[in-house]
Chain A
Amino acid sequence: MNSSVIVFPGSNCDRDVAVALEKLQFKNQMVWHKETKLPKSDLIVIPGGFSYGDYLRSGAIAGKSLIVSEVIKAADSGRLVLGICNGFQVLTETGLLKGALLRNNNLKFINRDINIKVLNNNSKFSGNYKKNQILKMNIAHNEGNYFTNQEHLKELIDENLIAFKYCSKDGDVNEDSNPNGSLQNIAGIFNSKKNILGMMPHPERMIDNLISNTDGINLFTSLLK
């Protein structure tokens, strides 16, 4: 499977996700944001980091770059797009995913291992997980507080488009297990066609027991099916 990782000035998890993709047998290419054409790829990844320093709003400026209009075209034609952390923020800024990511409600950057629950495993991205499986993931962000309007929230729920929710070790989804104030503990969502996934936790950080665990592997291997 071919993948491309888009690199913006200020992206800093680009190498991490490329390592994960290659380790899991993707044929990966890095794509510099100034390029005007995407290489042929089945999966496009927008990595974490601080594109353009997160200045103005996180993801806002990257959302206006040339390559992103190509990503939008690809997404519209059904290609798979994964936005991790800053990538999720970029996807909301481009409108590929609805809603917005606000400042964490404690106004601090949070880097911590948290748990998420797989709400929907019926997607290209999550097929190798079990429904309601609890994963340990790592978050590292300033703006992960997902917000959307009531109408869209209803759509997310009715169409089962919430991919992951923050939860406790035992799977409780409540205020105590919500690290950043995110609406309904949302940690990741799909678009309505489920070919786009945006998520705040970093699956690429969870592929190696020496560093953390291997809970992120299934996200990448799901895609290989």
Chain B
Amino acid sequence: MKITKQVVEKHGLNPEEFSTIKKLLKREPNLLELGIFSAMWNEHCSYKSSRKHLKNLPTRGKQVIQGPGENAGVVDIGDNDAIVFKIESHNHPSYIEPYQGAATGVGGILRDVFTMGARPIALLNSIHFGSPEHFKTKNLLNGVVSGIGGYGNCIGIPTVAGETKFNSTYNENILVNAMAIGHAKKDKIFYSKAKGLNKSVVYVGSKTGRDGIHGASMASAEFDENTDEKKPTVQVGDPFTEKLLMEACLELMKDNSIISIQDMGAAGLTSSSVEMASKGELGIELNLEMVPCREDKMTPYEMMLSESQERMLIILEEGKEKNAKKIFDKWDLDFVIIGKTTDTNKLVLKFNNIIEGDIPISALASKAPIYDRKWIKKKLPKKKVDLKKLKKIKFEDALLKILSSANHSNKSWITEQYDQMVMCDTVKKSGADAAIIRIHNKDKAIATSVDSSANYCKAYPFSGGKQIVCENWRNLISVGAKPIAVTNCLNFGNPENPEVMGEFAECIQGIKESCEFLNFPVVSGNVSFYNGTNKKNINPTPVIGGIGLINKLIEPIDHQFKNDKSVIILIGKTFGHLEQSVFLEEIYDNKEGLPPEVNLTNEKNNGECVLELINNSLVKSIHDISSGGLAVALAEMAMGTDYGVKINKPKNLTNLFKYFFGEDQSRYILEIEKNKLEKVEKILKKNNIFYENIGTTQKKYFEIQGEFKSDIKELYKINNQWYNNFNGFTY
């Protein structure tokens, strides 16, 4: 095929990029080579628009074994144990085919984790849909949820936490982010860097089919009216084969056969082989006729660009081939030596002994374009919302409306579709502020949560970025864990749009400040640009996935009230910040003003002090205050238990709604037994923590004195009915 302008354009490369390719090659590429450049140089693989900004993120710390740049991040949790984790987006495929898109998203992120020698121990997800009224939402929601469950349940890894949000900004572009966590021995982590010459390059796993060709390029292009044409690139996941692949890889990893291992993710065989060679500063030569194929007459182009799932590339130590093959035979998986490492620093592709492609590795990796895209600072909203100008509403109506809303209703109809208990180490599952997963056979555990707040980030990307990190930190603290590191998935619109690029740059700046201040480094992550349609970009939606450590798991804590007549303590100052709150959004559809600002010093002090209280067994239950403010947080602590609260209205109350629905940051609600109050107050005072004693628990009723009283069973019912009303009968 002649490489015309159209062919180049179809590969998502612009004319300048194409001329750079010609310069690097010192000739015209053929179609195979063009395809390979297109895969490696697209946003998804090259991070060409984001790299400059990502460099700002803090990635180091005593606890960090491996930061960004490998398949997943690795942190040290002591005793030769390491936690391997990462989050990744699968937004575009999930919009096109929700079940398979979401399922293969889970499959992909799991491979990233077990590639590094870790046995996956937990899955999380962050899913964002359009407004519930949008005609596509129901189908997408049901498809995505069953796809996530379908894959995770089948492979037998518990899905333990996540977040589900609805906002019209995602009407035409949903977000599906999946996170996986694995456990490895610190001295047995595997990396993708190739080493040594003439080593066997081995293909293992499923056969290669024609699926997902151009998938990686698709992930980096906006949707338009012609999205339909891109449809056949969706892949079907095969969790059963992935389970076999996982067990086989983990079995092979027990001895010292592997030099380097890399999953075939986006851009399949191309990116995996280039990555291994590039990191090892070597060349790789592949004999493509050896590649196990699912269909007849597959071409080298198709083999190199296929995104068939459930495949891996391994570089083996000499003489280990036979033993390795035995393991893969046992698991009924393909195992084929398809090439070798070379000293040419080139990717050489042969098909039946004819050289079909020959590209310097550096041209594909280190010399891939990097852009300093134009970006503009967000213009900040000046206006404060004047409550007096809004229609009056009763406290009761406001609270019930929020509790019954799509975003704040109970999500157990989702989480019950996930096996949360398999592996028998799930100490706290979905519903808690963070999940707790015990390290198998030990008495320590990790905590984990994913968080985002697109409304905050839209209004002021910088404080939004700061806030999500803090919210995540708070969720980990709230189950008694010491936060240690995060992964992040940055879902944004079109980076060629300077406003979007500005949102990106500023969110990262915010994330950086919080992570730095809290010693909460970023060890892995993923960027998803081009979320939007026809020039309408989604609200900036960075998602943070955090890990915390519980050194001694004695009495795990959660947010549910435990006793009658306990004292309720509110930690942190309440100013009554309502702009960008759920209250204004749900009740008045008002999205004006700035989001609440985080004071990092208070955040850190409050969190560390709360942790001290928990570690001294002084706290019965605890919940951080996030979207919905104090009232919603209190309701969440009560619903599903036998205990409600009796809250006194504060004396210096300026406005009831500001106090109860304001979203000021760095706050926690603690349930303290009366006889421990003195001790608790002593510690709080010693640490200079601002706190208020706001009421007590009581049986059966949720009560704000003089304002509102309801049976908690009633609240629970209201909180649980959204999905049934929404869904009716589904397929």
Contact = CB atoms under 8 A, between A and B. Distances in A.
A199 interface: no
Contacts of A157: none
Interface string A102-145: 00000111111000000000000000000000000010101000
A210 B556 contact: yes
Given A12-B155, A55-B240, A111 B427 contact: no
Contact of B421 (A110, A138, A210): A138
A53 B556 CA distance: 34
B441 to A, nearest CB: 9
Interface residues of A, number: 32
A54 B418 contact: no
Contacts of B153: 50, 109, 111, 140, 142
Contact of A110 (B155, B416, B423, B426): B416
B426 A16 contact: no
Given A9-B332, A12-B156, A53 B240 contact: yes
B423 A16 contact: yes
Contacts of A50: 153-156, 239-240, 243
Contacts, number: 86
B444 to A, nearest CB: 12
Given A50-B156, A211-B426, A10 B556 contact: no
Question: Which interface residue of A111, A112, A205 has the most chain B CB atoms within 10 A?
Answer: A111
Given A49-B156, A111-B417, A111-B418, A9 B240 contact: yes
A204 interface: yes
Contacts of A140: 153, 419, 421-422
A211 B156 contact: no
A34 B422 CA distance: 24
A44 interface: no
A97 interface: no
Interface in B188-221: none
Nearest to A110: B416
A208 B155 CA distance: 23
A90 to B, nearest CB: 15
B238 to A, nearest CB: 7
A107 B331 CA distance: 31
Nearest to A202: B421
B103 to A, nearest CB: 12
Nearest to A15: B423
A12 to B, nearest CB: 2
Contacts of B35: none
B425 interface: yes
Given A12-B155, A108-B146, A53 B418 contact: no
Contacts of A200: none
Contacts of A52: 240
A10 B420 contact: no
Interface in A169-214: 202, 204-205, 208, 210-212
A216 to B, nearest CB: 11
A101 interface: no
Interface in A1-34: 9-10, 12-13, 15-16, 19, 32, 34
B421 A12 contact: no
A10 B240 contact: yes
A112 B243 contact: no
Contacts of B420: 111
A101 B556 CA distance: 37
Contacts of B241: 53
Contacts of A212: 421
A109 to B, nearest CB: 5
A55 B241 CA distance: 11
B422 A12 contact: yes
Interface string B393-429: 0000000000000000000000111111111111100
Interface in B524-571: 553, 556
Which 4 A-B pairs rank lowest in CB-CB distance, beginning with the nearest?
A: A12-B156, A53-B240, A50-B154, A140-B419
Interface of B: 146, 149-150, 153-156, 238-241, 243-244, 330-332, 415-427, 438, 553, 556, 731
